[in-house]
Chains A and B, each alone.
Chain A
Amino acid sequence: MIHSKETEKQPVNDKNRLCTGSEILLKALASEGVEVIFGYPGGAILPTYDEIYKLGMNHILARHEQGAIHAAEGYARITQKPGVCIVTSGPGATNVVTGIADAMMDSLPLVVITGQVGTQLIGTDAFQEADMLGITMPITKHNFQIRSVDELAQTVKEAFHIAVTGRPGPVLIDLPKDISQQVTTFRYEKKIHLPGYQPTTKPNKQQIRKVLEKLQTAKKPVLLAGAGVLHAQASEELIQFTERNQLPLVNTLLGLGSYPGNNELHLGMGGMHGTYAANMALHETDFLINIGSRFDDRLTGVLEHFAPYATIAHIDIDPAEIGKNIYVDIPVVGDAKAALTMLLQGKGPNAEHDDWRKQTQSWKREYPLWFKRDKEVIKPQELIQKLYEQTNGEAIVTTDVGQHQMWAAQFFAYNKPNRWVTSGGLGTMGFGFPAAIGAQIAEPELPVLAITGDAGFQMTLQEMSILQELQLPVKIIIVNNASLGMVRQWQQLFHGERYSHSLFPIQPDFSKLADAYSIKAIKVEKLSELDGAIEETLSHAGPVLLEVCVAKEENVYPMICPGQGHHCMEGVKPS
């Protein structure tokens, strides 16, 4: 009886019970529905780790903070939920800076909690102190430093709100050690009061009408779809709008998957290593509708040659992106889903652009992506193509940056949203493999292929520990060309073939490395062995490291060389 009485009283007691800052933090994370934390402990964050121990939260221990934050990014990219990363002060915190900058550039929602030295020590150059507020100010959507335990719960609430709403982005909370130990009652308010933060999600009706009106008269319309469509989960609407108006569609690198890559209207990726059809369409178009892309320089090439004949409409949730790089005729501030829904409610099609559609289709047919097959040597493009075929495209692909990234963008068709995780804006080496871990945790049932280069893999390969520990079935595919491939390509083309520090004459034995982490390893050097190796990799239940030695001097084509426009692509056809 006594026992049950106590249980009845529990809620009342709990309400007034004093909690430490750490406990409040974790309770707040639980209230936000956080399923998994990626992190690494250390001095200033120890009280929080003590709470993680007591509460038994799902925490993934990386072997380097950079691994933790890229995994959180991969998780965020797939789930659209904020990836949560907890690290200690000083070196722990500075080790996540690359990931924060990466998430900022690619608009990924993250909540990063960095430990900080005690409030009395802040500003004294104390042991393991770094000014994280100052360091991350330009690379976060917003950052906080907690000055009192009473503001902690509300700050966490605001951090999550800021990370996912409007244009998503990373938010950092710097938590001094003494505050994580101070106590107060835990109350989690539902309300948020951020008068200076009111993102516009609903577009202006008149502007939407202007887009539709222009569409009625356009002869050569093109739709450019970026990652904003994925963030807004607006792929369905995009497909409907494109089909209804029979619009040729170009994807940005990060927008791949927002529209089925195997659809007839899909012209491929635009930009430096985009398809001929996509780039010619961008050059010839008379009406370009950009939804959720920020006109990155790798997409536009030289601005004076970008879409020279086009009226440009730009739909973006971030008003600062409109008119930043490109003059825009029809600016529309709003969420991609809201905008597409409004566009679909407008008048139906009666524009005549059959000739244009035929033209874009003929470009697509006549100038497909190509590579020269070799009898013995494995061509990286063929590797990607075979990965696509053998997975039926039903896989999540993550990459680093460089040649393998471009081939993975070109030769793997992304037919569904949230299947493609790549470091676009910052171009971060070492991103792909840990991001795959986060993606696999988000989607345990789907095959996850971490396609990396031999160089990038060596930047975060210690995260094989996570695969070993959790038996995550991530397939690491190392496209090994014994070099910094894209650097080597640029040195060949623009630096007189002076390969300054880009070749790796000595390679580690990747199989032995995998072996050290108790991960199955396969190495292939001949084309004849490739099919079998891929099959073996995919059919194995646990993690596999597949090292594929590919043609060392293969270059990524076609290409818009620096200073050129979309109409001046090189390597469009085999020479």
Chain B
Amino acid sequence: MKRTITVLVHNRSGVLNRITGLFSRRQYNIDSITVGVTENPSISRMTFVVVVDSMENVEQVIKQLHKQIDVLKIKDITDEATVARELVLVRIMATSVQRGEIASLAETFRAQAIDIGKESMTLQVTGNTEKVEAFIELVKPYGIQEVARTGVTAINRSAKMSTDTSRLTLIN
């Protein structure tokens, strides 16, 4: 199962290495990882999507992460009300004749053409993973030249709607 975990860490060199090293040593596969600074420049937010077998595994991941001295806060936000986004850039084959058709497709997904060449164009889409994947599927027939995805970054919604009490927290 996939779980989305957000981690606040000190913005120091080597911290990402500590975190990813911990995952690989304990054989947890990271699906995606995004990192960026927060409103406080000395603190970064990481968003992981990890693949685990069970909830016990998630708990162990969280506890191990928590042992890192550079880790300030950890949350498994999978079952919470969140806003999760991923950005993807797709360069596809596009002759001048096809451009109009592609542009209208893109509009449905609120994708933007950010670069147009003679025989190709590059589109940018943001959204949750499902949307991003649906869009890539849709433009596939034109011929994909290159795809660059950022991985998911996520944050809690302003109004908490989650009533799920099984959310994982550290003991005590």
Contact = CB atoms under 8 A, between A and B. Distances in A.
Interface of A: 133-134, 137-138, 141-142, 145, 162, 194-197, 200, 203-204, 207, 318-320, 322-324, 327, 331, 333-334
A162 B18 CA distance: 17
Contacts of B10: 196
Given A137-B21, A162-B69, A196-B10, A323 B56 contact: yes
B18 A137 contact: yes
Contacts of A142: 69
B69 A134 contact: no
B172 A197 contact: no
A195 B10 CA distance: 10
A331 B171 contact: yes
Contacts of A162: 69
Given A320-B66, A323-B59, A333-B172, A196 B21 contact: no
A320 B67 CA distance: 8
**Which 7 pairs show the lowest CB-CB distances between chains A and B?**
A320-B63, A333-B172, A197-B69, A142-B69, A196-B72, A331-B171, A204-B172
Contact of B70 (A138, A141, A196, A334): A196
27 contacts: A137-B17, A137-B18, A137-B21, A138-B21, A138-B25, A142-B69, A145-B14, A195-B72, A196-B69, A196-B71, A196-B72, A203-B172, A204-B172, A207-B172, A319-B63, A319-B66, A319-B170, A319-B171, A320-B60, A320-B67, A322-B63, A324-B60, A324-B63, A327-B56, A331-B171, A333-B170, A333-B171
Contacts of B25: 138
Nearest to A331: B171
B172 A319 contact: yes
B112 interface: no
Contacts of A203: 172
Given A134-B17, A137-B17, A323-B59, A196 B68 contact: yes
Nearest to A166: B67
Q: Which of B17, B69, B170 has the most CB of A within 10 A?
A: B69
Contact of A322 (B66, B72, B171): B171
A200 B172 contact: yes
B107 to A, nearest CB: 45
Q: Which of A145, A320, A334 has the most CB of B within 10 A?
A: A320
A197 B70 CA distance: 8
A323 B67 CA distance: 15
A137 B14 CA distance: 10
Nearest to B18: A137
A490 B146 CA distance: 55
Contacts of B14: 133, 137, 145
Nearest to B72: A196
A424 B60 CA distance: 23
Contacts of B70: 196
B39 to A, nearest CB: 16
Q: Which of B17, B18, B64, B171 has the most CB of A within 10 A?
A: B171
A162 B22 CA distance: 19
A323 B61 CA distance: 12
Nearest to B68: A196
Contacts of B69: 141-142, 162, 194, 196-197
A112 to B, nearest CB: 16
B166 to A, nearest CB: 15
Nearest to A142: B69
Given A319-B172, A324-B60, 20 more contacts: A133-B14, A137-B21, A141-B69, A162-B69, A195-B72, A196-B10, A196-B69, A196-B71, A196-B72, A197-B69, A200-B172, A204-B172, A319-B170, A320-B66, A322-B63, A322-B171, A323-B59, A323-B60, A324-B63, A334-B172
Interface string B78-93: 0000000000000000
Interface string B94-131: 00000000000000000000000000000000000000
Nearest to A169: B67
Contacts of B172: 200, 203-204, 207, 319, 333-334
Contacts of A134: 17
Contacts of B170: 319, 333
Contacts of A133: 14
B155 to A, nearest CB: 20
